[in-house]
Structure 1
């Protein structure tokens, strides 16, 4: 018990240092060489006529903050999904939540142009609900459809279907270039106003997740145990999924679809800190923030001076991890 407390405490204390370090690297280095002195002045003595100051203020700083926040949001969303479903493959990218958000955003761009950033975030959350409802709805009516591998297959099929429909709609109405940024990620084009709006929505999701942590821990032990302890499992799942919707919808609206963060990070966190979601959720947040910020920096230097999409970097880690989980656990729910 002593070590199980010390490990989460050590992660929560040390992670901010590493997150700040990787954020500083992200701000200091890029395609254009900008001196540390110029970076300092752009923050504390901003000159609107200085192009380098504009790059730091409007591009590099919002980008660094966005990947940190999105990494935290997706990691917590994945942790919550794995806890309430007892499915080791549950994550926003595999269960149709990301695809639902991107799908609704595409429809909004085509049929309701001129939406505010606030409205875009709300519609993205609605899309998250629709994506999750479709996947778990089909999973519940198909024999053994809620088993990890089958649910992942259903999520992949529905996600592909939603993406295909969205692509067809975007091509027909000639908005493919606009829509593509939500499917290929747009970390290099983060809207500062959207970023500021995303913070309260995302933190609301994290607060709900942390408040539900004890109930999620009990639920992860199994349905019978949870009911035996007097837990209202349906209400708990609805509240927990509200957190997932807030976190995923905000993340997709801000930077587009990013896969595998919500799959990989909760498993790594659980291996380090144990099965208590009071530790898993906050530790997933800081580890997810560091992980995606690191992936963003790596994506810039794989083929410098050209950028590699950040989704390629997360996939290089996530796909082998996904196959490892299937090989290790087979088709069984997490015990």
Structure 2
């Protein structure tokens, strides 16, 4: 893949010390803990700190509390866990895509990967009768990989090969087309619209332990592969020729990292629908705070993504009370200005 690397390397022109990165790591871990408490405490029914403690303690013991507030806390635990897992996976996926394409606009949502996964799942539900978590995961993986290949193919056609702007345009066009197909499948089926609604927008409100147990192995494997690729991705940021001189198999590392990134995105989409902009916003914020070293960027992005999506889900529950606003709407509302700012500040060769 080709394209200017300046936007992703600019943050590394000022060295970032290890102490600062450790501070960012500690802040990230603390933010995750705070976001968990906020997610369990707020929603359509606010609860007290004592009820949060009671709800968690009784859940750990496998008991059903008599207190309504504690019971509400227990009901929020699965969706909080899913928000943490999904946010971490989407941010990590976005960081990988930005690294392997050297494209500051790379994101599972912008490149159409999660919409492709959602379309495959919707087709499976509507026409094939798929209803199991394993079926959703398999279809999401197929849809995500087919879409990723298609977007890269379209973005590489023409003079200059693959450039950031061509990839972004190919992804945006593909996302629009696939979203229209999803809507065309869902709209005539009003009786099951609520069942399918979150495949258009993205939401973690349908979390359950059985479904999460299906995707956790994929998330773990994808995360391990991503972290193992960190050093090679650092070399890749210096340019293909330099990376080859440092002993990196450029083609192989791009394929392995891409498989990890697409798999992370597909697994999340299989259970939560297409949630956009998490993979775009978080890596850029982490890069500003901790530099571009992928050995730090990848794990810190996972922490940041977990915090962002958990808080987005909580905000949606509070704003939409007694119902809820889908987390995908909140992340889109937050992410659109970020996308505009990145596009304005980024110098892209195709422009």
Same fold (TM over 0.5): yes
CA contact (8 A) 1:81 1:90 kept: yes
Map of 1:91 onto structure 2: 107
CA contact (8 A) 2:24 2:290 kept: no
1:146 aligns with 2:159: no
Summarize the Cα distance change of 1:253–1:54 in structure 2 as closer, same or farther, 3 Å threshold: farther
Q: Deviations over 1:91-127 (max 9, x none)?
A: 1000111111101101111232144212321221221
CA contact (8 A) 1:42 1:56 kept: no
1:254 aligns with 2:267: no
Query: Equivalences for 1:291-330 in 2 at 5 Å?
Result: 291-330=308-347
Q: Matched residue of 2:287: which SS?
A: helix
How far residue 13 of structure 1 moved from its aligned partner, in angstroms, is: 2.9
Aligned residues: 332
Q: Matched residue of 1:307: which SS?
A: coil
Task: Output the CA distance in 2 between the equivalents of 1:7 and 1:187.
Answer: 33
Summarize the Cα distance change of 1:156–1:61 in structure 2 as closer, same or farther, 3 Å threshold: same
CA contact (8 A) 2:130 2:136 kept: no
CA contact (8 A) 1:85 1:220 kept: no
Map of 2:120 onto structure 1: 104
How far residue 18 of structure 1 moved from its aligned partner, in angstroms, is: 2.1
Map of 1:23 onto structure 2: 36
1:119 aligns with 2:135: yes
How far residue 218 of structure 1 moved from its aligned partner, in angstroms, is: 1.1
How far residue 217 of structure 1 moved from its aligned partner, in angstroms, is: 1.2
CA contact (8 A) 1:97 1:129 kept: yes
How far residue 139 of structure 1 moved from its aligned partner, in angstroms, is: 0.8
Deviates more, 1:14-23 or 1:59-68: 14-23
Task: Output the CA distance in 2 between the equivalents of 1:176 and 1:133.
Answer: 30
CA contact (8 A) 1:121 1:250 kept: yes
Task: Output the CA distance in 2 between the equivalents of 1:240 and 1:330.
Answer: 25
- TM normalised by structure 1 equals 0.91
Structure 2 unmatched runs, 5+: 1-13
Summarize the Cα distance change of 1:224–1:44 in structure 2 as closer, same or farther, 3 Å threshold: closer
Deviates more, 1:306-315 or 1:264-273: 306-315
Map of 1:286 onto structure 2: 303
1:10 aligns with 2:23: yes
Task: Output the CA distance in 1 between the equivalents of 2:231 and 2:97.
Answer: 14
Task: Output the CA distance in 1 between the equivalents of 2:292 and 2:64.
Answer: 50
- TM normalised by structure 2 equals 0.87
1:215 aligns with 2:217: no
CA contact (8 A) 1:144 1:150 kept: no
How far residue 301 of structure 1 moved from its aligned partner, in angstroms, is: 2.6
Equivalent residue in structure 1 for 2:146, among 130, 134, 143: 130
How far residue 153 of structure 1 moved from its aligned partner, in angstroms, is: 1.5
Task: Output the CA distance in 2 between the equivalents of 1:50 and 1:127.
Answer: 44
Map of 2:252 onto structure 1: 235
CA contact (8 A) 1:99 1:159 kept: yes
1:65 aligns with 2:81: yes
CA contact (8 A) 1:145 1:151 kept: no
Pairwise CA RMSD of aligned residues? 2.3
Q: Deviations over 1:4-51 (max 9, x none)?
A: 322332233332222122112211222134453352453245445858
Task: Output the CA distance in 2 between the equivalents of 1:217 and 1:273.
Answer: 14
CA contact (8 A) 1:28 1:34 kept: yes
